[in-house]
Structure 1
Amino acid sequence: MDKATIITLVLGGSFAALFLGAPVGPLLAFGAMAGLFLLTGSFEAATSLLLAAGFDVSSSFGYIVIPMFIMMGAVAAQTGIVNDLFDAAYKLVGRVAGGLAVATCCASAAFGAVTGSSISAASAMTKVALPQMQKYGYSTRLSAGIIAVSGTLAMMIPPSLMMVFYGIIAQQSIGKLLISGVLPGLFTVLVYSVIILVRAKLNPSIAPAGPRFPVSEIVRSSVKASPFLLVLAALMGGLLLGVWTPNEASAGGVVVVILIGLAKRSLSFQRLFHAGVDSIVTSAAVLVLVMGSILFGKFLALSGITSGLTTMTENAQLSSFQLFLLLVAVYLVLGTFLEGISILALTVPIVLPIILKAGWDPIWFGVILIKLIEIGAVTPPVGLNIFAVKGAAPELKSSDIIMGAVPFWISEIFILFVLYFAPSIALFLPSLM
């Protein structure tokens, strides 16, 4: 069997299995094993690579950042932090027309930064923020839309598991990748907020002003939410200044978040136990995915598909901007039917050699890729954040969530092009490390 047939069978079979709902990690491992066996004709060679990948993932100290950040997010979610963050933002800016939606966006960004999960952020903010926006007469579409899209900020703002996963596959500095998402994430929050405030100014009926709170109450709510924000600032500041590594930061984050939960008396032993169980299950799934991705990358390299595509791209003589447009189109299509982890696992081993040959910075490309995955998270028919909002508020119409997200979806495309023409937004902070 020739290489072209083997590649077609493995890639075609992998995509077909993903459509049918197969788990990504085992699927990639199985596809890579089958491909390696067909390429080498040796079952022992394929199994030895499987064992090597398994040993590497299970024994490498560098991968400890994954379960630690997952544990940090799981513990933080058990402490009721989302209520504290929204309450602080709500009392600070809720009195402004559109302020509740801006508060939701800011609280989602902060909660996503602590948990690292866009689905968790969208689901939690639906339960906390949606009733408040409905209470004060906010448009259902605006309310549902901003919750869905602002949940995606968890993918960009550190600690982002998507960034960590990309760093492992692309073999890039996880510390630099985490820091690179800070300014693009804050820029996205700013753009969302401007859109909300402009729409509220043009049509006050969709986002009326909320209640005013005394300064003492604003200060009290801000102080209540501040410990978690200080933890994030310390972790990211320490990474930026080189005080600690990502592994040390993630482990320290778990300890501090547990201490904060205990001090607030919001973290019981039972909740801590549940957080630990959730973390173990999620970490195991992610690490199996990492192992599958490593194997799949080895298969792609051995098959020659990566070098072949790189040569094909060179021969096409595409300009940097044309290559960017091509990749944006491909990833936008993939984002309509695949979730983010699947996209990273399947495409990074193929695309990375091409962008390196084009002279692109892999840290900057990681930010672009995560931004494209953010867009995919609110793009039907998959749109996981749309389903998260719908699941948390079944009474909402899916059409209202989708239509509410459209203006912000368009703004994401704008932000994507800003990041292309101004790469320093992503690269400035990593350059200081």
Structure 2
Amino acid sequence: MNILIIGTGYVGATTAMVFAESGWQVTGLDIDAGKIERLRQGRLHFHEPGLEELIAKHVRSGRLLFTTDKKTAIAEHDVIYICVGTPSRPDGNADLRYIQQAAEDIGFFMNGYKLVVTKSTVPVGTQEQIKSWIEAAQQQPYRFDVASNPEFLREGKAVEDALRPDRIVIGTDSARATEQLQLLYKSFHCPWIITKPRTAELIKYASNAFLATKISYMNELARLCDELEVNVNEVADGMGLDPRIGPSFLQAGLGYGGSCFPKDVSELVMTARKHEVHLRILDQVMDVNRMQFAYLLDKARTRLGELKDKNIAVLGLAFKPDTDDIREAPALRMIRELLLEQARVRLFDPVAKLPAHPFYETVAVCASAEEALLNADAVILCTEWTAFGQLNWENAKPLLGQPNFFDGRNMMDAQRMRGMGYYYQGIGTDH
């Protein structure tokens, strides 16, 4: 089987890579000619460790092709994966315009049976909408199936997650679709869930919402730890040894961000409201996450007083290390508030770029961490890049105007930093 991937962003490029690595012939389709040209050269348009090398490998072998030609691509492939974006609308609902466009293109250009597989994260019931969009666009009544096959990729770890998944979820009512998808994934050895499309769609949202809940729970607990003079990291270590809880996503900090958790939690809440169900826990999860950055900023105000005209070094912009994704990044919330309070902000991130917007024009974007630290009254660490942990902080101390360090990711060793003469505060770890 030849596989077509519609959409060559983070999910699409990773999906194309994993099927090519599994031995299938794959074509990536996108309307963005610039992206396609870069991919044809084996180059990615975003940062994801290890992915570009595998893309380039399969471009060279001829197993992985890229095109902007919708008509030919859809006609020549029997298995079509939809991997386009589903961003949040202002009201919190998922924007399905790109899903609808892909479905209509498939319907219009199809020339025989197609298996259409939704890899994008979509609201429960979208598989049924895709069917209707395809049918409405068809020029002739060709048969087709629509299945759900959600992705469970961690940004920064996408290659590992794609090649060694912890589960494969297939949602379909068609025996033919099930058989084809089992063949596509025949080389993978992990648990399978074969279920109804709506169940598969909900598994994705429920998974991300639960992980977001763990993060916000630990962030609230960290505030209590500060009051009780208890180290939240030690609490997390003790909790994580319980196999019913596990150690993942128990790290207190500035909160979650990125392309998945914020929009997926919001969409799940909105889906529930449409059915007159109030997911109160998830409402609180979003509220805690929205304001978590302010907790650390309050600590900085207590130490520095008024932030106006203070020199603040912000280390890290991406919502997590090993990615350039700044969507819903806590660092952006931090920078916005600092600018509103008329602080002077100097920023460094090894990969991520500050948005080109007039609001950020006063931010000094630096070429190194050391440059960002020059004359700083305080350092606020927002992303736990390995390079920040490896920096010689003893040598860096003379660069600062005042050695104040606010660790939004609890990355540094508090005793060691204080031993070097820093005023150090983390989140729930200052004891």
TM exceeding 0.5: no
More strand by share: 2
Q: Over alpha carbons, which structure has the higher Rg? A: 2
TM-score by length of 2: 0.28
TM-score by length of 1: 0.28
More helix by share: 1
